[in-house]
Structures are given as C-alpha cells and as structure tokens.
Structure 1
Amino acid sequence: MHAISVRQLLVRGMLAGLLAGLIAFAFAYVVAEPSIDDAIAVEQAQSAAHAAPTGSHSGHHGGDAAVPAADEEEELVSRAVQSTFGLATGLLVYGVALGGIASLAFAFAHGRTGRFGPRATAAFTAAGVFVTVYLVPYLKYPATPPAVGNPDTIGKRTTLFFLMILLSVLVGVGCVVIGRRLAPRLGNWNASVAAGAGFAVVMAVLFAVLPDNGDAVKDAFPAAVLWEFRMASLGMQVVLWTGFGLIFGVFAERLLAPRPGTSAAAAPAV
C-alpha cells in the first residue's frame, strides 16, 4: 500500500476513534456512571461505619461541632467534573490513540486477508484489537470500581494488567503470522482456525500461570454492584470498538475503493 494511503488511513483512523469515543462517552455517561456512583456510595457508607466515633463529648463545647474530622480530605476534582469532562477527555484520547493503531493494523491487513473489502477488513481489525487489547486482559483481570480496590495492591494490579495486554498482543500477532504461513498448505479457513485455537491455548496457559487478583476488591463489597460496574465497563468497550469498526470502514472504503471510471490498474496497490 502506498505511503500516502497509509498516512490518510492513519488520519481517518484517528478521526473514527474520536467519533467512536464520543459514542462511548454517551453510553458510559448513561449506563456506566450510575454504577460508579453506586460503588462510591457503598464505599463511603462502609468507611463512615468504620470511622463512627465510640463516644461523644461535643455537647459540652458548642464550637466543636463545626470542626471537621481529622481524616476528612478535600476533593481535588469534583465528582461532577470526573463524570463529564474527565470521562469525555479520557475516552476521546483513548479512542484517538487506539484508532490510529487500529488503522495501521488495517493498512497491514488490507489485501492480505482474502477478498474482504475495506468495510469487512475494518470490522475484523476492530474486533481483533478489541479482543487482544481489552477482552482477553479483562477476562483475567476485570475492572474494579474506583475507591473500592485494595490500595495496597494498586501497583501490582496495574503491572499485571498491562503485562496481560502486552502478552495478549504479542501472542495474537504471532498467531496471525503463523496462520499466514500455514495458509498455503491448509487453506485460509483451516489456517485461521488453527491460529485461533493456538491463541486460545497459549492464553489459557498464561491465565493459569499468572497470579490472580483475588484481593482487588474488599470482601464486604456487594457482588451485585461489582457485576453491574464490570458489565457496564465491558459494554462501553463493545460500543467503542463497534462504532470504530463501522465508522472507519466507511472512511476506508471511500479512500480505497476504485472510483467509477477508474481502471483497476490505476487503483492503489495493496
């Protein structure tokens, strides 16, 4: 594929990621944010219960009631800002960055995956990025609501999650390369099945070898609230990558599809 086409695909991928991020923000604000509010409310209630005073002497000193507790901390960023501007900024930056990466993966895959057109290739690329970058790591280390996770294990959990992303991407790329090399002997379908099975086996072994995050959430935290938050987080990613695949597919088709009256020889090489 010509360098100019790759650059144009990169720009379109970042734009598609931006638009998909806007769609994901709307979903997150309506569906995910209420579950975060529930999780924070539970955590605050539990903290208040643990911090309840054992005795009261404030009745003898009227001014003491206005003195804040020693463990209260002023909130640096309000919850309203976090759930609007902060959430939107994070999703838009995430969408643009991964949209650019996905567009480069599309540029590599287009023309090398059989007779799939730009829209189908974009859909498969988006699905592949979603599975390797988010879904597989999520299955091993699912999302945890803010202010709920064990603070003593934040560093460990963050390291393990990004390690899982790296391993998933490396194994996924390796299986794609192996599948392409097997295709001449096994055929495209059988090679794809073999590569997919190999990816599943290797990731299952890594799941068994890598440590769990059993202490990521406090035991007293309600399971229903945790499940609601994790399903909302997964749904947000599904919406983001579905939107990206559809939007970028349209952009890529308009860029790469031969225009009426243009001969196949004049079309961009792939």
Structure 2
Amino acid sequence: MNRIRSLLAVTLVASLPIVTPARAQEAEDHSTLTLGLGVAAVPSYEGSDDYRIMPVPQVRGKVHDFAFWTRGPALFVDLVPNRSDDGLDIQVGPTVGARFDRTSRKRVKDDAVAALGKLDTAIDVGGFVGIGKTGVITSAYDNLSARVSITKDVAGAHESVIVTPSIEYFTPLSVRSFVGLGLSADYVGKKYGRYYFDITPEQSAASGLPAYDRAGDDSGFRKINLALTGGYSLSGDIRRGWTLFALGAYARMLGDYADSPIVSIAGSKNQWVGAVGVGYTF
C-alpha cells in the first residue's frame, strides 16, 4: 500500500511512520518500488542544540502485496498482504535498525558532549503491529493509521527495549499533492537512559559537565514527536513518477532525559528537523 511513505524523511529522528492517502484512487499494483533521496538538517545528537546536514535515502515497495520500507537506518517488513477492498490495512511484521547516536566524535559538535566518549552502535530488533483505514474524514482517499513498534538492542550497546506508539493522518489535496500530520512518542527502558543520558564522575571530570545518574533510575517516555509533511508531483500524479517532498518536525525531550546535562546544559529540550527531497515511484 501507500507508495509515498518512502519519499518522506520523518523517520530520520522524529520516528514517525509515513503513509500516503492516494492508494484508493486507482486499482492497486501488486508490486511497486519507490526510491527517494533528500537532504535534512538534524540535531548532531539526541538532545543537541547544534545541527548538521545529512543525506536521506529512502526505499519503499511491495512484492505481491507484501510491503517493505525503510525509515532512516531501519527496515520494516509487513507480513500481512494488503488485499482488503474496504480500505482496511492490518500491519504486522519484523523490524531491524541501527542507532548511531554519538558513535562518532566528529559528528558531535559540542566539545563537552564529545568528551564524554564515543558510544557503540546499537542494533534494534523487534516487530510492529498496526491498523490503517482509507476513507475516514475528508474524502474517500484520506488515511488514518496507528502503529506500535517494540525493539530491543541486541548488539550490547544500550541493551534496552524501545516502544514507539504513533498515529498519522494523511490526505490528498489533489491528484498532484498531499499533506500529512503525525504524532508519536518513545518509551525506553532503564538501560537506555543510563547509556545515553547519565554522566559518570569520570565523564564529568573529562567533559566539565556535572555528574548525573537519574536517567537510568526507571523506564519512561523520553520524547514526543510531531511532524508535518507535504508532497507535490512533478509528473502530474503522486502515484507515479517524480514527487518533491518537504518535512518539518518537532520533538520535545521529557522527564529525567531532558534534565540530563547532556540536554539541559549542552543541548536543548526542543529538537527540530527539516528535510526536502525528491522521489520516484515505478
């Protein structure tokens, strides 16, 4: 289903899955492929107030109605084929992704945070469940969906569980354009806060930031994300050919994670993302 999700870069850091409302406008192809490439301005680490520019590749498609898509460095595969005639889409499948936060000191612009040391790459493996419905509010072609993903690091980095509930609404403005809004949150286990947000006395001495050990005291929501997306077809139809897209996203760090000196002193609770790019649907 939903070919234009692969064109949107919200899944970089805002962690919002993207859908397109255009699928009901024509008979579905059972196999499709969309390739996208964009440029995004993102925080240099989670909680940073410095930004860097990075490329945004994206792939999405389906083979005999079994969908797959990337969201940043993560891959999702929907094992339930989308063959419903009533616009209902049940989503169940595995996901695997990599987390590169602070794995390179060169990408961390704040000297104090860089002095905390380099972290290991996390490999988050798990699954997702969701449900979507086409033709809900504004027209027969809009789409409202909800999804929950659950992953765990298996590479020995943060070694924690991450739960991400999300809800999205997308609607076409015409056959050439669409807009969408998405809301999600990230719930993490104790080890995640301990790994990314706590500061040991040794790290405090090296960085000049005060020691901090509260982020790993308990599980909790680390941030909430809001994203607005839009697209415009250069080919005259958002279901085929070239499409331009743009994205603006805002995330708010929460609780003990926001109170960590990594965020409250060296960074900011307010996290912004902007992206523009182009995609092609075959």
TM-score w.r.t. the length of structure 2 is 0.22
Query: Quick one: higher RCO (CA 8 Å, sep 6+), 1 or 2?
Result: 1
Name the one with the larger strand percent.
2
Asked which structure has the greater CA Rg, the reply is: 1
TM-score w.r.t. the length of structure 1 is 0.23
Name the one with the larger helix percent.
1
